[in-house]
Structure 1
Amino acid sequence: MEKIKIMGIFAHPDDEFGMAGTIVKAISLGIEISLVCATKGEAGKIRNEKQKLLKTMSISQIREEEYLAACNKLGVSRSFNLGLEDGNSKNWNEKKVISDIIDVIEKECPTQIFSFDMNGVNGHPDHKALAHIC
């Protein structure tokens, strides 16, 4: 039987929370999990005690750090970032994004891929763009 490998593809650091339960359960069953994050979250907001970090770090650095910590805590095998501009999905080069995602898929060889529904779960333009691409 083929080993199950799941890949999640999301737009922003913190979008992985939507499949956190699936990740934890899958890892408990010995399933490998890898995640692809399209952006570094630079258009996001920091609304907690980490605001003080904005004096020495960019939003994207803070969010990337949080994303990597979440991946580590959840037990994610590998994570990738496509480096797309957050909040500017209307200008993403769709052919390049598809090519970059295919490259990661070919490297990881997942048996299942999870991403957003066609409405991007909450209608966010970046989520919807990625759902269309995936």
Structure 2
Amino acid sequence: MALNPFRAAPTVPFVAPASVRFGSFDPCRIYGSVYLETDPYRRSYCFATVYQEPEEAFADLLVYQEDNKLFADKAGFWYQTSARDFADYVLFVTDRRALADFSITYTKSRSFAGCRKQ
């Protein structure tokens, strides 16, 4: 089949680029039920990679562990589930800080939970 040189080229409809930013996200928006994955074979199924920081001063997010899922309604308030299927977020825990998307540490006070202002 030959192309017609006298016919105008077909117009391509304008497609807006996706508004989703790949590779970066806001860890301050993570709250609710969370499952922490440690199996490296399931890393690709996780939402993000986290590092558990031993020092509170260097962590990006201070996390308070809630006993009830209903109270985990703000940034930094997590209810850790034992089942991966019932979690809002599945996060892979790594032991290398350089491979993590962000770092967390646990706090015992509800008032300290949340993102650190940088």
From the two aligned structures, give the one with the greater strand fraction: 2
Scaled by the length of structure 1, what TM-score is found? 0.23
Which protein shows a greater Rg? Answer: 2
TM-score (norm 2): 0.25
